[in-house]
Structures are given as structure tokens and as C-alpha cells.
A and B are shown apart, each in its own frame.
Chain A
Amino acid sequence: MTVEEKVQEVLVGNAGLTALVPASKIRVSGDDQGIQVPYIMHFPVAEIPVETYSGAAGLRMWTSYQVDIYAGSLSAAAVIRDAVLAALNGYHDSITDRIFQAPGGSSDYNTDRKVAHVALDFEVAGLFV
């Protein structure tokens, strides 16, 4: 399983989050022109290679995995943000060492599109392919 697939699995499997954002609008960043708010895009940003003298270790680590929340207002985005944090922060399972919130993140409002955007950063580590 890739790291994107794991984050997707955790997000769409959280009932509290999918009550705010339908599972069909939670996606890995891609060609999604025209999608209506609210929606979530997520993607890995910065990976730290874990190299041993005998090759790459099974463990893979990302210092930054970004989750972008788009909503009609910053207050609505903030509610979704809290649900994303509840779903991801501290998550671990048999292949996921941990997902937890990393320093960073941002929020802004696009007055042309009338869309609020909140970005969260996570650190992710596990046995991903």
C-alpha cells in the first residue's frame, strides 16, 4: 500500500469527517477541475530516505504530508480541519508507525473563487511501497 492510499483509507473511513465532506470529494491531488466545495486534496511533499549500507530500509518517512481543505468559509474549513485532525493525528496500525500533525499549515481565502483554503502538514512513517 502506498502512503497516499493509507491516508485516503483513514480519511474516508472516518464517519465524522465524511459527514462533513463526502468520501467522493476526498482525493489524492490530481486533475479535479470543477469540483465543488467542500473537498479535500492530499499528497506527500517531503520524504526522508532511510538508507542502510545494504540498501533502502523498509521504513519510509515523510516530514511533510499535506492535506488541503477547501470550503465556502474559513469557519466551515476550520470544522473540517478539526475532523481531519481527529482522523489522522496519532493514527497507527500494522504498517503505519504513526501519523501526526507537523509544524506548519496555513489558511487563506480566495476572493475570486469565494473559496476558503486550510492546509495541514503531517509527519507520516511506515512500511509503505
Chain B
Amino acid sequence: MAQGGVLGNGSKVAFSASSPVSWTRVGQLLNFEPPTLEVDEEETTVSSTTSNYKRFMPGMIDVTPMSFTVLQDLDEVTAADQAALAGYARDLTTIWWRIEIPTNRAKTRFKAMEFQGWIKKRAPSADVPSRQETMFEIRFDGDGIAEYNAGSSQIS
């Protein structure tokens, strides 16, 4: 039965440089935009005496970048996850990503997606009156996005 709407609060983002994966959660996550699938289209309209409609076939799939923003902590001692991400950004390393979005208000079941990608953008900040934030943008670099049935979290 439909939930009637669930907030995005409780969503998780994690990464792993190894396979088999060992997930490292991205801490202090302020917001994130999951990757979006957008399919190219190829027109297949043929001349017809019985139809005035254009026709299209699906083309290649573009995966828009996933982005997320964290409360910035540039100290590698207190934020090893952010230090690791900074290293992957510098080294242009393709790593595994897992996002989990809660499917119930109790936050006991999550819809999970996994894919490979590299850090396209890492944007720290240091405004005088504002909290420090770092924005990351992840570019897809894999064979597909795996989606799993809703279940318990694998990110601790």
C-alpha cells in the first residue's frame, strides 16, 4: 500500500574504492541530487498514408551527474571520509557509489542504487558569515545503474 509520501530525510550516500565493496558513508550530508537518467531519441518516422504521427526510438542513455553537499571539515583527522574524497578527486579515480533513499517513515527500509563514477567537481567554501560547505559532483563511468528492491540499509 502506498506510503502517502515520505520525506527525503534519512537518505544516505556512500562510496567504496574496492570490490568487493566496503561502504564508507559520506558524513554531514546537507543535500544531494540523485543521478538522473535521460534517454536520447532517434526519429523513426516513415512516410505513411494512414498516420500523421512522428515516431521515435530510444537512443543512448545519459546519466546526469549526482551532486551532494556536506558540512565541510577539511581536517583529515576528524573527517577521514572528506579527506578520502578529496584524494579521489585529485587522482581522478573511478569508485563505487551507493545511495539509499528511505521508503518508510521509520527509516528501516531503503531503496538502493549503485553505480561507478569519478569526482568531476569538488567545491569547498569559506565565506565569512556562513557555515563551511563542500559541493561534490559525480560523473557516471560504468555499465549501468543497479537498483535493488527496498530493504535494510547496508550503509552504517
Contacts and interface: CB of A to CB of B under 8 A. Distances in A.
A53 B131 contact: no
A59 interface: yes
Contacts of A54: 10, 12, 27-29
Contacts of B32: 53
Nearest to B11: A53
A61 interface: yes
Contacts of B8: 53
B33 to A, nearest CB: 13
Contacts of B93: none
B75 to A, nearest CB: 14
A52 B11 contact: no
B71 A53 contact: no
Contacts of A100: 129
Most B C-beta atoms less than 10 A away, residue of A54, A61, A125:
A54
B129 A50 contact: no
A52 B131 contact: no
A129 to B, nearest CB: 18
Given A57-B71, A59-B71, A52 B28 contact: yes
A59 to B, nearest CB: 6
Interface residues of A, number: 11
Majority secondary structure of chain B interface residues (helix, strand, loop or mixed)? loop
Most B C-beta atoms less than 10 A away, residue of A53, A61, A100:
A53
A50 B71 contact: yes
Contacts of B12: 53-54
B129 A53 contact: no
A50 B131 contact: yes
A123 B129 contact: yes
A100 B29 CA distance: 27
Nearest to A123: B129
Interface in A14-55: 50-54
B79 interface: no
B9 interface: yes
A57 B32 CA distance: 16
Given A50-B71, A52-B71, A57 B28 contact: yes
A100 B12 CA distance: 35
Contacts of A57: 28, 71
- Among all A-B residue pairs, the 6 with the closest Cβ atoms: A53-B29, A53-B11, A52-B28, A52-B29, A57-B71, A52-B30
27 contacts: A50-B71, A50-B131, A51-B9, A52-B28, A52-B29, A52-B30, A52-B71, A53-B8, A53-B9, A53-B10, A53-B11, A53-B12, A53-B29, A53-B30, A53-B31, A53-B32, A54-B10, A54-B12, A54-B27, A54-B28, A54-B29, A57-B28, A57-B71, A59-B71, A61-B131, A100-B129, A123-B129
